[in-house]
Structure 1
Amino acid sequence: MTILLYKLLLGLIVGSIIALFSYIARLLTTSGALALIFVATVVCGFGSWPTWGLLILFFASSGCIHLVKKRINVTKTKSLVQKDHTRDAWQVLANSLPAITSLILFYYTENQLFLIGYVSGIAGATADTWGSEIGILSKSVPRSIMSFKQIEPGLSGGVSMLGSVASFFGSLLISVVFWLVYSWYPIFQLPTSLFVIVPLICGVFNSLVDSLLGATLQTKYRCPICDQITEQKQHHLKQTKQISGLSWMTNDWVNFFSGCLTVLSSWILIFYLQ
Protein backbone atom coordinates (compact mmCIF):
# COMPACT_ATOMS: atom_id res chain seq x y z
CA MET A 1 0.00 0.00 0.00
CA THR A 2 2.92 2.35 0.69
CA ILE A 3 4.24 1.84 -2.84
CA LEU A 4 0.75 2.45 -4.23
CA LEU A 5 0.41 5.75 -2.36
CA TYR A 6 3.87 6.79 -3.51
CA LYS A 7 2.97 6.06 -7.13
CA LEU A 8 -0.34 7.87 -6.80
CA LEU A 9 1.47 10.97 -5.56
CA LEU A 10 3.99 10.79 -8.39
CA GLY A 11 1.19 10.38 -10.92
CA LEU A 12 -0.55 13.41 -9.45
CA ILE A 13 2.56 15.57 -9.73
CA VAL A 14 3.63 14.52 -13.23
CA GLY A 15 0.02 14.49 -14.45
CA SER A 16 -0.40 18.04 -13.18
CA ILE A 17 2.70 19.18 -15.09
CA ILE A 18 1.50 17.55 -18.32
CA ALA A 19 -2.01 18.95 -17.83
CA LEU A 20 -0.63 22.46 -17.25
CA PHE A 21 1.38 22.45 -20.48
CA SER A 22 -1.60 20.96 -22.36
CA TYR A 23 -3.85 23.69 -21.00
CA ILE A 24 -1.38 26.42 -21.99
CA ALA A 25 -1.16 24.91 -25.49
CA ARG A 26 -4.99 24.87 -25.60
CA LEU A 27 -5.08 21.11 -26.01
CA LEU A 28 -7.26 20.84 -22.89
CA THR A 29 -9.93 22.92 -21.21
CA THR A 30 -9.84 23.43 -17.45
CA SER A 31 -12.08 20.41 -16.90
CA GLY A 32 -10.01 18.41 -19.39
CA ALA A 33 -6.83 19.22 -17.49
CA LEU A 34 -8.38 18.08 -14.22
CA ALA A 35 -9.57 14.86 -15.87
CA LEU A 36 -6.09 14.22 -17.24
CA ILE A 37 -4.62 14.63 -13.76
CA PHE A 38 -7.12 12.09 -12.45
CA VAL A 39 -6.37 9.60 -15.24
CA ALA A 40 -2.59 10.01 -14.89
CA THR A 41 -2.82 9.49 -11.12
CA VAL A 42 -4.88 6.32 -11.44
CA VAL A 43 -2.74 4.81 -14.21
CA CYS A 44 0.51 5.56 -12.38
CA GLY A 45 -0.86 4.25 -9.09
CA PHE A 46 -2.36 1.00 -10.36
CA GLY A 47 -0.10 0.36 -13.34
CA SER A 48 3.59 0.00 -14.09
CA TRP A 49 5.92 2.45 -15.77
CA PRO A 50 5.29 1.00 -19.24
CA THR A 51 1.50 1.27 -18.87
CA TRP A 52 1.90 4.89 -17.85
CA GLY A 53 4.22 5.46 -20.79
CA LEU A 54 1.59 4.17 -23.23
CA LEU A 55 -0.92 6.69 -21.89
CA ILE A 56 1.60 9.52 -22.27
CA LEU A 57 2.41 8.30 -25.79
CA PHE A 58 -1.27 8.48 -26.70
CA PHE A 59 -1.78 12.03 -25.41
CA ALA A 60 1.60 13.28 -26.68
CA SER A 61 1.18 11.92 -30.21
CA SER A 62 -2.39 13.20 -30.46
CA GLY A 63 -1.34 16.60 -29.14
CA CYS A 64 1.54 16.86 -31.61
CA ILE A 65 -0.77 16.07 -34.52
CA HIS A 66 -3.20 18.74 -33.35
CA LEU A 67 -0.46 21.36 -32.97
CA VAL A 68 0.82 20.62 -36.48
CA LYS A 69 -2.71 21.06 -37.82
CA LYS A 70 -3.00 24.39 -36.05
CA ARG A 71 0.24 25.50 -37.71
CA ILE A 72 -1.23 24.80 -41.15
CA ASN A 73 -4.61 26.32 -40.20
CA VAL A 74 -6.87 23.29 -40.63
CA THR A 75 -10.22 24.69 -39.41
CA LYS A 76 -12.75 23.57 -42.00
CA THR A 77 -14.76 21.33 -39.64
CA LYS A 78 -15.07 23.66 -36.66
CA SER A 79 -18.61 24.79 -37.44
CA LEU A 80 -19.94 21.26 -38.04
CA VAL A 81 -18.58 19.00 -35.30
CA GLN A 82 -20.05 18.95 -31.83
CA LYS A 83 -16.85 20.07 -30.08
CA ASP A 84 -13.57 21.60 -31.17
CA HIS A 85 -10.24 19.87 -30.68
CA THR A 86 -9.58 21.33 -27.22
CA ARG A 87 -10.55 18.32 -25.11
CA ASP A 88 -12.80 18.71 -22.09
CA ALA A 89 -13.22 16.30 -19.19
CA TRP A 90 -15.87 14.18 -20.92
CA GLN A 91 -13.65 13.67 -23.95
CA VAL A 92 -10.65 12.68 -21.83
CA LEU A 93 -12.66 10.26 -19.68
CA ALA A 94 -14.59 8.76 -22.60
CA ASN A 95 -11.32 7.82 -24.29
CA SER A 96 -9.58 6.48 -21.18
CA LEU A 97 -12.10 5.02 -18.69
CA PRO A 98 -12.59 1.63 -20.43
CA ALA A 99 -8.82 1.13 -20.58
CA ILE A 100 -8.04 2.16 -16.99
CA THR A 101 -10.90 -0.02 -15.72
CA SER A 102 -9.15 -3.00 -17.31
CA LEU A 103 -5.84 -1.85 -15.79
CA ILE A 104 -7.33 -1.75 -12.29
CA LEU A 105 -8.71 -5.26 -12.81
CA PHE A 106 -5.21 -6.39 -13.80
CA TYR A 107 -3.77 -4.83 -10.64
CA TYR A 108 -6.09 -6.84 -8.39
CA THR A 109 -6.20 -10.11 -10.37
CA GLU A 110 -2.78 -10.20 -12.13
CA ASN A 111 -4.60 -11.77 -15.06
CA GLN A 112 -2.73 -10.85 -18.25
CA LEU A 113 -6.03 -10.73 -20.10
CA PHE A 114 -6.80 -7.42 -18.37
CA LEU A 115 -3.38 -5.92 -19.13
CA ILE A 116 -3.85 -6.54 -22.84
CA GLY A 117 -7.36 -5.13 -22.45
CA TYR A 118 -5.80 -1.90 -21.17
CA VAL A 119 -3.34 -1.75 -24.06
CA SER A 120 -6.14 -2.49 -26.55
CA GLY A 121 -8.16 0.38 -25.10
CA ILE A 122 -5.25 2.80 -25.49
CA ALA A 123 -4.56 1.46 -29.00
CA GLY A 124 -8.21 2.01 -29.89
CA ALA A 125 -8.24 5.57 -28.56
CA THR A 126 -5.04 6.31 -30.48
CA ALA A 127 -6.40 4.78 -33.69
CA ASP A 128 -9.62 6.77 -33.46
CA THR A 129 -7.86 10.04 -32.64
CA TRP A 130 -5.23 9.67 -35.35
CA GLY A 131 -7.88 8.69 -37.87
CA SER A 132 -9.99 11.76 -37.07
CA GLU A 133 -7.13 14.24 -36.80
CA ILE A 134 -5.17 13.09 -39.86
CA GLY A 135 -8.14 11.97 -41.95
CA ILE A 136 -9.40 15.54 -42.15
CA LEU A 137 -6.27 16.38 -44.17
CA SER A 138 -7.34 14.03 -46.94
CA LYS A 139 -7.81 15.67 -50.33
CA SER A 140 -10.62 13.24 -51.15
CA VAL A 141 -14.09 13.75 -49.71
CA PRO A 142 -14.88 11.23 -46.93
CA ARG A 143 -17.73 8.77 -47.37
CA SER A 144 -20.25 7.43 -44.89
CA ILE A 145 -19.23 4.02 -43.58
CA MET A 146 -22.88 2.93 -43.94
CA SER A 147 -24.13 4.40 -47.24
CA PHE A 148 -20.74 5.16 -48.89
CA LYS A 149 -22.17 8.54 -49.90
CA GLN A 150 -19.95 11.60 -49.66
CA ILE A 151 -20.34 13.58 -46.43
CA GLU A 152 -18.83 16.74 -45.02
CA PRO A 153 -15.28 16.33 -43.68
CA GLY A 154 -15.20 15.94 -39.91
CA LEU A 155 -18.69 14.55 -39.44
CA SER A 156 -18.90 11.36 -37.40
CA GLY A 157 -19.39 8.22 -39.45
CA GLY A 158 -17.20 9.34 -42.32
CA VAL A 159 -14.14 7.40 -43.47
CA SER A 160 -11.31 8.09 -45.88
CA MET A 161 -8.29 6.16 -47.05
CA LEU A 162 -5.91 8.56 -45.30
CA GLY A 163 -7.86 8.36 -42.06
CA SER A 164 -8.00 4.56 -42.20
CA VAL A 165 -4.25 4.31 -42.75
CA ALA A 166 -3.65 6.74 -39.88
CA SER A 167 -5.87 4.64 -37.60
CA PHE A 168 -3.90 1.52 -38.46
CA PHE A 169 -0.55 3.13 -37.69
CA GLY A 170 -1.85 4.70 -34.47
CA SER A 171 -2.92 1.29 -33.25
CA LEU A 172 0.33 -0.24 -34.51
CA LEU A 173 2.43 2.28 -32.59
CA ILE A 174 0.85 1.42 -29.24
CA SER A 175 0.94 -2.33 -29.96
CA VAL A 176 4.60 -2.40 -31.00
CA VAL A 177 5.75 -0.28 -28.06
CA PHE A 178 3.84 -2.59 -25.71
CA TRP A 179 5.46 -5.63 -27.33
CA LEU A 180 8.96 -4.13 -27.17
CA VAL A 181 8.61 -3.51 -23.45
CA TYR A 182 6.74 -6.58 -22.25
CA SER A 183 7.94 -9.35 -24.57
CA TRP A 184 11.11 -9.74 -22.45
CA TYR A 185 9.28 -10.13 -19.15
CA PRO A 186 9.65 -13.77 -17.97
CA ILE A 187 6.49 -13.53 -15.86
CA PHE A 188 4.25 -13.52 -18.91
CA GLN A 189 3.09 -16.88 -20.22
CA LEU A 190 1.22 -15.65 -23.28
CA PRO A 191 2.88 -15.90 -26.72
CA THR A 192 4.64 -12.63 -27.43
CA SER A 193 2.94 -12.42 -30.83
CA LEU A 194 -0.35 -11.76 -29.05
CA PHE A 195 1.17 -8.63 -27.52
CA VAL A 196 1.09 -7.05 -30.97
CA ILE A 197 -1.71 -8.87 -32.78
CA VAL A 198 -4.54 -8.47 -30.27
CA PRO A 199 -4.07 -4.74 -29.45
CA LEU A 200 -3.51 -4.00 -33.15
CA ILE A 201 -6.69 -5.79 -34.24
CA CYS A 202 -8.74 -4.33 -31.40
CA GLY A 203 -7.39 -0.83 -32.03
CA VAL A 204 -8.45 -0.92 -35.67
CA PHE A 205 -11.74 -2.49 -34.57
CA ASN A 206 -12.30 0.49 -32.27
CA SER A 207 -12.05 3.00 -35.10
CA LEU A 208 -14.51 0.98 -37.20
CA VAL A 209 -17.02 0.66 -34.35
CA ASP A 210 -16.64 4.37 -33.61
CA SER A 211 -17.46 5.21 -37.23
CA LEU A 212 -20.42 2.79 -37.27
CA LEU A 213 -21.90 4.23 -34.09
CA GLY A 214 -21.24 7.73 -35.34
CA ALA A 215 -23.06 7.02 -38.59
CA THR A 216 -26.07 5.24 -37.06
CA LEU A 217 -26.72 6.21 -33.44
CA GLN A 218 -24.97 9.54 -32.89
CA THR A 219 -27.36 12.46 -33.05
CA LYS A 220 -27.19 14.68 -36.14
CA TYR A 221 -28.90 17.98 -36.89
CA ARG A 222 -29.72 20.06 -39.95
CA CYS A 223 -29.19 23.81 -40.09
CA PRO A 224 -32.31 25.75 -41.23
CA ILE A 225 -30.09 28.48 -42.72
CA CYS A 226 -27.49 26.63 -44.82
CA ASP A 227 -29.21 23.21 -44.86
CA GLN A 228 -25.95 21.53 -43.82
CA ILE A 229 -25.86 18.47 -41.56
CA THR A 230 -24.08 19.25 -38.30
CA GLU A 231 -23.46 17.81 -34.85
CA GLN A 232 -24.20 21.13 -33.16
CA LYS A 233 -27.53 22.14 -31.67
CA GLN A 234 -27.02 25.64 -33.03
CA HIS A 235 -25.60 26.73 -36.38
CA HIS A 236 -25.48 30.25 -37.76
CA LEU A 237 -26.95 31.31 -34.39
CA LYS A 238 -30.12 29.36 -35.15
CA GLN A 239 -31.54 26.25 -33.48
CA THR A 240 -30.91 23.18 -35.62
CA LYS A 241 -33.36 20.33 -36.15
CA GLN A 242 -32.50 16.76 -35.19
CA ILE A 243 -32.69 14.48 -38.22
CA SER A 244 -31.12 11.21 -37.06
CA GLY A 245 -29.63 9.31 -34.15
CA LEU A 246 -30.47 9.24 -30.45
CA SER A 247 -30.85 12.62 -28.80
CA TRP A 248 -28.43 11.73 -25.96
CA MET A 249 -25.85 9.90 -28.10
CA THR A 250 -23.09 12.49 -28.39
CA ASN A 251 -19.60 11.86 -29.74
CA ASP A 252 -18.34 11.39 -26.19
CA TRP A 253 -20.78 8.51 -25.66
CA VAL A 254 -19.76 7.03 -29.01
CA ASN A 255 -16.11 7.10 -27.93
CA PHE A 256 -16.98 5.55 -24.57
CA PHE A 257 -19.08 2.71 -25.98
CA SER A 258 -16.58 1.92 -28.74
CA GLY A 259 -13.83 1.85 -26.10
CA CYS A 260 -15.86 -0.54 -23.95
CA LEU A 261 -16.48 -2.85 -26.91
CA THR A 262 -12.79 -2.72 -27.81
CA VAL A 263 -11.62 -3.73 -24.33
CA LEU A 264 -14.31 -6.43 -24.14
CA SER A 265 -13.32 -7.85 -27.53
CA SER A 266 -9.68 -8.05 -26.42
CA TRP A 267 -10.71 -10.01 -23.32
CA ILE A 268 -12.65 -12.44 -25.49
CA LEU A 269 -9.79 -12.87 -27.96
CA ILE A 270 -7.22 -13.55 -25.26
CA PHE A 271 -9.57 -15.90 -23.42
CA TYR A 272 -9.92 -18.12 -26.49
CA LEU A 273 -6.34 -17.77 -27.77
CA GLN A 274 -4.37 -18.30 -24.58
Structure 2
Amino acid sequence: MEKHLIQPAIAALLSFVIAVRAYKRKSLNLSGAVSGFIVMFIHLAVNYRFGAMLLVFFFTSSKFTKFGEDRKRKLDADFKEGGQRDWIQVLFNGGIATLLVLTSWKLIGSQDRCLDSKESRIITALIGGIIGQYCCCNGDTWSSELGILSNEEPRLITTFKPVRRGTNGGVTKAGLLAAAAAGSVIGLTFVVMGFFTTKCTSDVTVKQLFVIPLSALAGVCGSVIDSLLGATLQFSGFCTVRKKVVGKPGPTVKRISGLAVLDNNAVNLVSILLTTAITSIAFLYIF
Protein backbone atom coordinates (compact mmCIF):
# COMPACT_ATOMS: atom_id res chain seq x y z
CA MET A 1 0.00 0.00 0.00
CA GLU A 2 1.31 3.42 -0.94
CA LYS A 3 2.48 5.54 1.97
CA HIS A 4 -0.09 8.32 1.44
CA LEU A 5 -2.93 5.77 1.69
CA ILE A 6 -1.84 4.21 4.99
CA GLN A 7 -3.06 7.01 7.26
CA PRO A 8 -6.57 7.26 5.68
CA ALA A 9 -6.89 3.47 5.85
CA ILE A 10 -5.97 3.44 9.55
CA ALA A 11 -8.32 6.37 10.13
CA ALA A 12 -11.23 4.59 8.42
CA LEU A 13 -10.71 1.33 10.33
CA LEU A 14 -10.27 2.99 13.73
CA SER A 15 -13.21 5.36 13.20
CA PHE A 16 -15.47 2.48 12.16
CA VAL A 17 -14.57 0.35 15.18
CA ILE A 18 -15.08 3.24 17.63
CA ALA A 19 -18.38 4.33 16.04
CA VAL A 20 -19.80 0.79 16.18
CA ARG A 21 -18.62 0.37 19.77
CA ALA A 22 -20.16 3.70 20.78
CA TYR A 23 -23.46 2.75 19.14
CA LYS A 24 -23.57 -0.62 20.92
CA ARG A 25 -22.80 1.04 24.26
CA LYS A 26 -25.48 3.71 23.64
CA SER A 27 -23.01 6.59 23.76
CA LEU A 28 -24.25 7.48 20.25
CA ASN A 29 -27.51 6.70 18.48
CA LEU A 30 -27.43 5.62 14.81
CA SER A 31 -27.27 9.14 13.37
CA GLY A 32 -24.64 10.07 15.96
CA ALA A 33 -22.55 7.02 15.07
CA VAL A 34 -22.63 7.80 11.33
CA SER A 35 -21.74 11.48 11.79
CA GLY A 36 -19.21 10.54 14.46
CA PHE A 37 -17.50 8.19 12.01
CA ILE A 38 -17.19 11.00 9.45
CA VAL A 39 -15.82 13.51 11.98
CA MET A 40 -13.35 11.00 13.45
CA PHE A 41 -12.17 9.88 10.03
CA ILE A 42 -11.43 13.45 8.91
CA HIS A 43 -9.49 14.24 12.09
CA LEU A 44 -7.39 11.06 12.04
CA ALA A 45 -6.82 11.06 8.28
CA VAL A 46 -5.49 14.64 8.35
CA ASN A 47 -3.44 14.60 11.55
CA TYR A 48 -3.06 12.01 14.31
CA ARG A 49 -2.73 14.77 16.93
CA PHE A 50 -6.08 16.25 15.95
CA GLY A 51 -7.61 12.78 16.10
CA ALA A 52 -6.09 12.10 19.51
CA MET A 53 -7.67 15.23 21.00
CA LEU A 54 -11.06 14.30 19.58
CA LEU A 55 -10.82 10.75 20.93
CA VAL A 56 -9.73 11.92 24.40
CA PHE A 57 -12.72 14.26 24.48
CA PHE A 58 -15.10 11.56 23.27
CA PHE A 59 -13.95 8.77 25.57
CA THR A 60 -13.59 10.85 28.75
CA SER A 61 -16.86 12.74 28.27
CA SER A 62 -18.72 9.50 27.49
CA LYS A 63 -17.27 7.92 30.63
CA PHE A 64 -18.26 10.82 32.87
CA THR A 65 -21.71 11.07 31.25
CA LYS A 66 -22.40 7.51 32.41
CA PHE A 67 -20.87 8.11 35.85
CA GLY A 68 -23.52 8.34 38.57
CA GLU A 69 -26.40 7.58 36.19
CA ASP A 70 -28.83 6.60 38.96
CA ARG A 71 -28.51 9.97 40.65
CA LYS A 72 -28.63 11.91 37.37
CA ARG A 73 -31.81 10.08 36.35
CA LYS A 74 -33.54 11.57 39.38
CA LEU A 75 -32.26 15.10 38.73
CA ASP A 76 -32.19 15.50 34.95
CA ALA A 77 -35.51 15.77 33.09
CA ASP A 78 -33.71 15.16 29.76
CA PHE A 79 -31.70 12.18 31.00
CA LYS A 80 -30.82 9.64 28.28
CA GLU A 81 -29.64 6.13 29.03
CA GLY A 82 -25.92 6.05 28.29
CA GLY A 83 -26.00 9.75 27.43
CA GLN A 84 -26.83 8.96 23.79
CA ARG A 85 -25.74 11.73 21.44
CA ASP A 86 -27.34 12.26 18.03
CA TRP A 87 -25.92 13.77 14.83
CA ILE A 88 -26.83 17.30 15.92
CA GLN A 89 -24.82 17.01 19.14
CA VAL A 90 -21.91 15.39 17.29
CA LEU A 91 -21.75 18.21 14.74
CA PHE A 92 -22.22 20.92 17.36
CA ASN A 93 -19.37 19.43 19.40
CA GLY A 94 -17.05 18.63 16.50
CA GLY A 95 -18.23 20.56 13.46
CA ILE A 96 -16.19 23.73 13.94
CA ALA A 97 -13.02 21.77 14.68
CA THR A 98 -13.66 19.64 11.59
CA LEU A 99 -13.80 22.76 9.40
CA LEU A 100 -10.54 23.98 10.96
CA VAL A 101 -8.93 20.57 10.40
CA LEU A 102 -9.99 20.59 6.73
CA THR A 103 -8.62 24.12 6.35
CA SER A 104 -5.31 22.96 7.80
CA TRP A 105 -5.26 20.01 5.39
CA LYS A 106 -5.91 22.35 2.47
CA LEU A 107 -2.93 24.50 3.46
CA ILE A 108 -0.28 21.97 4.57
CA GLY A 109 -1.75 18.53 3.92
CA SER A 110 -1.13 15.97 6.68
CA GLN A 111 2.03 17.61 7.98
CA ASP A 112 2.22 18.19 11.71
CA ARG A 113 3.55 21.56 12.82
CA CYS A 114 4.77 23.09 16.05
CA LEU A 115 2.98 26.13 17.42
CA ASP A 116 5.14 28.94 16.08
CA SER A 117 3.64 32.18 14.76
CA LYS A 118 6.99 33.16 13.23
CA GLU A 119 6.77 30.13 10.94
CA SER A 120 3.04 30.41 10.17
CA ARG A 121 0.47 32.65 11.85
CA ILE A 122 -2.49 31.01 10.16
CA ILE A 123 -1.51 27.45 11.10
CA THR A 124 -0.86 28.52 14.70
CA ALA A 125 -4.29 30.16 14.80
CA LEU A 126 -5.98 27.09 13.30
CA ILE A 127 -4.33 24.71 15.77
CA GLY A 128 -5.18 27.05 18.64
CA GLY A 129 -8.80 27.06 17.52
CA ILE A 130 -8.96 23.26 17.36
CA ILE A 131 -7.46 22.97 20.84
CA GLY A 132 -9.86 25.64 22.13
CA GLN A 133 -12.87 23.82 20.67
CA TYR A 134 -12.08 20.56 22.46
CA CYS A 135 -11.08 22.26 25.71
CA CYS A 136 -14.46 24.00 25.69
CA CYS A 137 -16.42 20.83 24.90
CA ASN A 138 -14.52 18.70 27.39
CA GLY A 139 -14.64 21.40 30.07
CA ASP A 140 -18.38 21.87 29.67
CA THR A 141 -19.04 18.13 29.76
CA TRP A 142 -16.84 17.37 32.76
CA SER A 143 -18.15 20.34 34.75
CA SER A 144 -21.79 19.47 33.97
CA GLU A 145 -21.55 15.72 34.53
CA LEU A 146 -19.41 15.89 37.67
CA GLY A 147 -20.75 19.18 39.05
CA ILE A 148 -24.30 17.85 39.26
CA LEU A 149 -23.04 15.03 41.50
CA SER A 150 -21.24 17.38 43.88
CA ASN A 151 -22.62 17.69 47.40
CA GLU A 152 -21.91 21.41 47.16
CA GLU A 153 -24.99 23.56 46.54
CA PRO A 154 -24.78 25.13 43.05
CA ARG A 155 -25.07 28.89 42.69
CA LEU A 156 -26.36 30.81 39.71
CA ILE A 157 -23.33 32.37 38.01
CA THR A 158 -25.06 35.74 37.48
CA THR A 159 -26.35 36.30 41.03
CA PHE A 160 -24.45 33.70 43.12
CA LYS A 161 -27.75 32.73 44.72
CA PRO A 162 -28.28 29.02 45.51
CA VAL A 163 -30.28 27.11 42.88
CA ARG A 164 -31.46 23.55 42.38
CA ARG A 165 -29.07 20.99 40.89
CA GLY A 166 -29.48 20.81 37.13
CA THR A 167 -30.30 24.51 36.74
CA ASN A 168 -28.72 26.02 33.64
CA GLY A 169 -26.03 28.48 34.76
CA GLY A 170 -25.60 26.86 38.16
CA VAL A 171 -21.93 26.45 39.06
CA THR A 172 -19.91 24.76 41.80
CA LYS A 173 -16.24 24.84 42.72
CA ALA A 174 -16.03 21.14 41.84
CA GLY A 175 -17.51 21.86 38.42
CA LEU A 176 -15.02 24.63 37.66
CA LEU A 177 -12.11 22.47 38.82
CA ALA A 178 -13.41 19.67 36.59
CA ALA A 179 -13.49 22.10 33.64
CA ALA A 180 -9.86 23.08 34.28
CA ALA A 181 -8.83 19.42 34.52
CA ALA A 182 -10.73 18.61 31.33
CA GLY A 183 -8.95 21.36 29.41
CA SER A 184 -5.58 20.27 30.80
CA VAL A 185 -6.13 16.73 29.52
CA ILE A 186 -6.71 18.04 26.00
CA GLY A 187 -3.58 20.21 26.18
CA LEU A 188 -1.52 17.36 27.61
CA THR A 189 -2.67 15.08 24.78
CA PHE A 190 -1.58 17.64 22.19
CA VAL A 191 1.84 18.14 23.79
CA VAL A 192 2.61 14.45 24.38
CA MET A 193 1.56 13.44 20.86
CA GLY A 194 3.77 16.19 19.51
CA PHE A 195 6.87 14.50 20.89
CA PHE A 196 6.24 11.67 18.40
CA THR A 197 4.85 13.56 15.42
CA THR A 198 6.89 16.78 15.19
CA LYS A 199 10.47 18.02 15.39
CA CYS A 200 10.87 21.52 16.80
CA THR A 201 13.87 23.59 17.80
CA SER A 202 14.66 23.40 21.53
CA ASP A 203 13.25 26.83 22.39
CA VAL A 204 10.03 26.16 20.46
CA THR A 205 9.71 22.73 22.07
CA VAL A 206 9.86 24.19 25.58
CA LYS A 207 7.28 26.80 24.66
CA GLN A 208 4.83 24.07 23.61
CA LEU A 209 4.46 23.19 27.30
CA PHE A 210 2.46 26.41 27.78
CA VAL A 211 -0.34 24.66 25.89
CA ILE A 212 -1.28 22.73 29.05
CA PRO A 213 -2.06 25.67 31.39
CA LEU A 214 -3.61 27.59 28.49
CA SER A 215 -5.85 24.61 27.80
CA ALA A 216 -6.91 24.55 31.45
CA LEU A 217 -7.92 28.21 31.12
CA ALA A 218 -9.75 27.44 27.87
CA GLY A 219 -11.70 24.69 29.63
CA VAL A 220 -12.77 27.06 32.40
CA CYS A 221 -13.49 29.83 29.88
CA GLY A 222 -15.77 27.56 27.86
CA SER A 223 -17.58 26.38 30.98
CA VAL A 224 -18.07 29.93 32.28
CA ILE A 225 -19.36 31.22 28.93
CA ASP A 226 -21.73 28.25 28.75
CA SER A 227 -22.97 28.98 32.28
CA LEU A 228 -23.47 32.69 31.58
CA LEU A 229 -25.51 31.93 28.47
CA GLY A 230 -27.41 29.22 30.33
CA ALA A 231 -28.30 31.57 33.18
CA THR A 232 -29.52 34.37 30.92
CA LEU A 233 -30.70 33.08 27.53
CA GLN A 234 -31.70 29.51 28.38
CA PHE A 235 -34.86 28.82 30.39
CA SER A 236 -34.74 26.83 33.62
CA GLY A 237 -37.79 25.99 35.68
CA PHE A 238 -38.95 23.52 38.31
CA CYS A 239 -41.79 21.19 37.31
CA THR A 240 -44.04 20.67 40.33
CA VAL A 241 -45.39 17.43 38.83
CA ARG A 242 -42.16 15.74 37.75
CA LYS A 243 -40.20 17.28 40.64
CA LYS A 244 -37.30 18.04 38.32
CA VAL A 245 -35.60 21.04 36.73
CA VAL A 246 -36.82 21.39 33.12
CA GLY A 247 -35.77 23.50 30.16
CA LYS A 248 -39.17 24.58 28.82
CA PRO A 249 -41.97 26.76 30.29
CA GLY A 250 -45.30 25.13 31.08
CA PRO A 251 -48.41 25.38 33.26
CA THR A 252 -46.83 23.26 36.00
CA VAL A 253 -43.38 24.86 35.72
CA LYS A 254 -42.12 27.54 38.08
CA ARG A 255 -39.40 29.68 36.48
CA ILE A 256 -35.97 29.64 38.12
CA SER A 257 -33.88 31.68 35.69
CA GLY A 258 -33.19 32.59 32.08
CA LEU A 259 -35.19 33.36 28.96
CA ALA A 260 -36.34 30.80 26.41
CA VAL A 261 -34.10 32.21 23.66
CA LEU A 262 -31.51 29.44 23.22
CA ASP A 263 -31.78 25.69 23.75
CA ASN A 264 -28.92 23.57 25.07
CA ASN A 265 -27.45 22.87 21.64
CA ALA A 266 -27.45 26.57 20.71
CA VAL A 267 -25.79 27.49 24.02
CA ASN A 268 -23.09 24.90 23.36
CA LEU A 269 -22.52 26.19 19.83
CA VAL A 270 -22.17 29.83 20.89
CA SER A 271 -19.81 28.97 23.77
CA ILE A 272 -17.71 26.82 21.42
CA LEU A 273 -17.52 29.61 18.82
CA LEU A 274 -16.44 32.17 21.41
CA THR A 275 -13.92 29.91 23.14
CA THR A 276 -12.47 28.78 19.81
CA ALA A 277 -12.00 32.40 18.69
CA ILE A 278 -10.50 33.52 22.02
CA THR A 279 -8.07 30.58 22.14
CA SER A 280 -7.06 31.05 18.52
CA ILE A 281 -6.20 34.72 19.10
CA ALA A 282 -4.40 33.96 22.38
CA PHE A 283 -2.20 31.35 20.69
CA LEU A 284 -1.23 33.86 18.00
CA TYR A 285 0.16 36.25 20.62
CA ILE A 286 1.69 33.64 22.94
CA PHE A 287 3.32 31.37 20.38
Same fold (TM over 0.5): yes
Q: 1:211 aligns with which of 221, 227, 230?
A: 227
Q: What number of residue pairs does the alignment pair up?
A: 266
Gaps spanning 5+ residues in structure 2: where? 109-122
Alignment partner of 1:253 is 2:266: yes
| Post-superposition offset of 1:186 | 2.5
1:15 is matched with 15
2:194 to 174, 182, 188: 182
Q: Distance in 2 between matches of 1:20 and 1:44?
A: 17
Structure-1-length-normalised TM-score: 0.84
- Which residue is 1:51 aligned to? 50
CA distance in structure 1 between the aligned counterparts of 2:7 and 2:234, rounded to whole angstroms:
38
Distance of aligned partners of 1:53 and 1:103 in 2 relative to their CA distance in 1, 3 Å threshold = same
Worse-matched range after superposition: 207-216 or 190-199: 190-199
For residue 182 of structure 1, report the CA deviation from its aligned partner: 1.9
After TM superposition, give the deviation of residue 269 of structure 1 in Å. Answer: 0.9
Match in the other structure for 1:152: 164
Aligned residue in 1 for 2:120:
none
Aligned 8 A contact 2:92 2:268 in 1: yes
State the one-letter code of the partner of 1:261: L
Say if 2:92 and 2:265, in contact at 8 Å, map to a contact too. yes
Deviations 1:172-203 (A, max 9, x none): 11111212222573357583233223333222
Structural RMSD (CA): 2.9
Q: Percent identity?
A: 25
| Partner of residue 166, structure 1 | 178
Using structure 2 for the length normalisation, give the TM-score: 0.81
Distance 1:226 1:126, change over 3 A: closer
Structure 1 residue aligned with 2:36? 36
Q: Retained in 2: the 8 A contact 1:99–1:117?
A: yes
Structure 1 runs of 4+ aligned residues shifted over 6 Å read: 2-5
> Which runs of 5 or more residues in structure 1 are unaligned?
none
Task: Give CA deviations for 1:39-98 in whole Å, capped at 9, x if unaligned.
Answer: 11221233x11221111111111122233323x65422222x487732122112111122
Once residues 252 and 8 of structure 2 are traced to their aligned partners in structure 1, the CA distance between those partners, rounded to angstroms, is 45
Matches within 5 A, 1:211-250: 211-221=227-237, 223=239, 225=241, 229-232=245-248, 244-247=258-261, 249-250=262-263
The yes-or-no answer on 1:114 pairing with 2:126 is yes
Q: Distance in 1 between matches of 2:253 and 2:23?
A: 31
